[in-house]
């Protein structure tokens, strides 16, 4: 198997293998970022050359996709408000787009374009390059992802992605070998950089990725840095440009060593339809009928939730200190619009808990809930995924819509080349802040 593909996939596999389910909360550690926003050409050009689909099969696939999303996708109204797109109302336009395709390649492109209209980074087709590892990783018992595997377990899907069942054991072995060798042989680049901005006063760490394969190794060096600066007045955690990875990274390398007491946040998630049920059950999420929700709470949520959703779940996320370093200064988190998925879950955690003062610009959102669920189309065998849970912020706004709003708005351009802090407005705000 191509080593480059293995190295690209390894941290995804690590995330899956080390999923945690915290008591009473979602397994926020399991966002599958390797599949996030694939290039259309990769999905199209690498699709197996099967017998061409008939127009009737293409239209039936679209009808299946449309109804699946109509009944279960949670962000139609958000998309209308943010982007002015009525996806459900565009059905006839999408049908015409399908009818204008003459090859399977054009059909695949059309489906990806139709999904792109939803403007959600967790909605897309699965790239052929990663299909085998995505499927096999989902079958491993350690991962508790059986419904994800079952959504892909279809001969039509396997044929589309040129996947041979005889490969499964070899791929499993490659996954386990890569994991056992990951500390010494792969991904030797740290996901963070530290700096002392003002000795004895202001310390700085920039985390460019919540890299699931670097949690333990980076954690050793990050802890040494915290111990070095534990008596400082201010600590800046900069996650600008960080589009996600594994929640384990920020839980184990930021919250656990810096928290001085357990921190608990709560937020509500809402779902529609029945498709997500086996996925929710696999994660131990017992959604309740929305009619059971306390009326005072229900009146606080956006009206389209009351009108369009039929179930809810209260996520409770508690993180306890682990060998805390004893930092008692003020913590600042710098964010920008590129902060997404697991990095967004960290920003939202800081916002709701008050763990850090957030500085910069509004984030990219969609960092709460569970793994996006998988689906497959019955005739083409194309497989994809979508977010099935709409989650709120602590103030009852929709995270995907409002994102995480900073406590202090400043120009978030940065980090500057060579970490030139003198021209970094967010860092300069922290240096001048006298509220501590």
pLDDT at 98 over 90: yes
Q: Token pair of 95, please?
A: 């049908």
Query: pLDDT averaged over the chain?
Result: 89
Residue 435: pLDDT band (50, 70, 90) is confident
The domain segmentation of the chain, as residue ranges, is: 3-184, 192-370+388-432
Prediction pTM value: 0.87
Whether the Cβ atoms of residue 374 and residue 383 lie closer than 8 Å to each other: yes
Half-sphere exposure of 434 (CA within 13 A, CB side): 0
Instruction: Determine the Cα–Cα distance for residues 422 and 62; give it in Å rounded to an integer.
Output: 53
How high is the pLDDT of residue 34?
A: 34
* Mean pLDDT within 371-378: 97
9-18, 277-286, 344-353: the lowest-pLDDT one: 9-18
> Is the pLDDT assigned to residue 28 strictly greater than 50?
no
Please give the distance of CA 13 from its chain centroid, rounded to a whole number: 14
What average pLDDT does this structure show over 293-311? 96
Over its C-alpha atoms, the chain yields an Rg (Å, rounded) of 22
The pLDDT assigned to 188 comes to 78
Comparing 17-31, 32-46, 224-238, 330-344, the range with the smallest average pLDDT is 17-31
Give percent above pLDDT 70 in the chain: 87
Q: Which pairing describes strands 390-391 and 263-271: parallel, antiparallel, or unpaired?
A: antiparallel
Residue length, the chain?
Answer: 436
b/e 195-222 (16+ beta carbons within 10 angstroms → b):
bebeeeebbbbbbbbbbbbbbebbbeeb
- Could you say which DSSP state residue 181 is in? H
Judged against a pLDDT cut of 80, whether residue 247 lies above it is answered with yes
C-beta of residue 340 within 8 angstroms of C-beta of residue 243: yes
pLDDT value for 183: 53
What's the confidence (pLDDT) of residue 225?
A: 98
Please state the CATH superfamily assignment of the domain spanning residues 192-370+388-432 in this structure.
2-enoyl-CoA Hydratase; Chain A, domain 1 (3.90.226.10)
Q: Residue 307: what pLDDT?
A: 95
Of 122 and 51, the one with more pLDDT: 122
Residue 203 pLDDT > 70, yes or no? yes
C-alpha span between 374 and 357 (Å, rounded): 36
Give residue 25's pLDDT band: very low, low, confident or very high (50, 70, 90).
very low
Taking 80 as the threshold, does the pLDDT of residue 8 lie above it?
Answer: no
The CATH-assigned architecture of domain 3-184 is: Up-down Bundle (1.20)
- 3-state DSSP call for residue 260? coil
Cβ-contact 375, 278 below 8 angstroms? no
Q: Output the pLDDT for position 13.
A: 43
Q: Tell me the H-state helices in 256-410.
A: 256-258, 277-282, 295-298, 303-308, 342-353, 399-402
């Amino acid at each position: 198997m191509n080593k480059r593909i293995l190295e690209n996939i390894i941290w995804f596999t690590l995330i899956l293998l080390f999923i945690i389910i915290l008591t009473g909360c979602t397994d926020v550690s399991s966002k599958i970022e390797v599949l996030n926003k694939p290039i259309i050409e990769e999905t199209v050009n690498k699709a197996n050359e099967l017998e061409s689909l008939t127009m009737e099969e293409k239209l039936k696939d679209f009808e299946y996709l449309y109804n699946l999303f109509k009944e279960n996708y949670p962000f139609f109204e958000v998309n209308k408000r943010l982007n002015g797109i009525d996806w459900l109302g565009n059905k006839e336009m999408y049908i015409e787009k399908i009818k204008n395709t003459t090859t399977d390649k054009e059909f695949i492109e059309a489906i990806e374009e139709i999904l792109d209209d939803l403007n959600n980074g967790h909605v897309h087709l699965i790239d052929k390059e990663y299909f085998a590892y995505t499927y096999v990783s989902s079958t491993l018992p350690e991962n508790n992802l059986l419904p994800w595997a079952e959504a892909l377990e279809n001969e039509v899907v396997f044929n589309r992605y040129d996947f041979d069942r005889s490969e499964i054991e070899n791929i499993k072995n490659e996954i386990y070998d890569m994991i056992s060798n990951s500390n010494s042989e792969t991904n030797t680049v740290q996901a963070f950089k530290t700096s002392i901005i003002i000795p004895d006063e202001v310390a700085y760490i920039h985390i460019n990725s919540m890299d699931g394969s670097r949690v333990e190794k980076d954690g050793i060096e990050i802890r040494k840095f915290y111990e070095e600066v534990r008596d400082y007045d201010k600590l800046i955690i900069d996650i600008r440009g960080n589009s996600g990875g594994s929640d384990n990274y920020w839980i184990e390398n930021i919250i656990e060593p810096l928290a001085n007491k357990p921190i608990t946040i709560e937020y509500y998630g809402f779902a529609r339809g029945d498709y997500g049920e086996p996925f929710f059950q696999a994660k131990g999420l017992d959604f309740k009928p929305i009619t059971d929700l306390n009326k005072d709470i229900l009146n606080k949520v956006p009206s389209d939730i009351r009108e369009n959703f039929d179930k809810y779940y209260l996520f409770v996320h508690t993180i306890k200190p682990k060998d805390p370093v004893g930092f008692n200064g003020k913590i600042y988190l710098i964010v920008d619009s590129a902060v997404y998925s697991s990095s967004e879950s960290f920003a939202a955690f800081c916002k709701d808990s008050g763990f850090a003062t957030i500085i910069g610009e509004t984030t990219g959102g969609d960092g709460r809930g569970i793994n996006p669920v998988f689906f497959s189309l019955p005739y083409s065998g194309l497989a994809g995924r979508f977010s099935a849970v709409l989650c709120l912020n602590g103030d009852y706004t929709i995270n995907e819509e409002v994102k995480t709003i900073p406590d202090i708005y400043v120009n978030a351009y940065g980090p500057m080349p060579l970490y030139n802090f003198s021209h970094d407005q967010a860092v300069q705000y922290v240096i001048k802040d006298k509220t501590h």
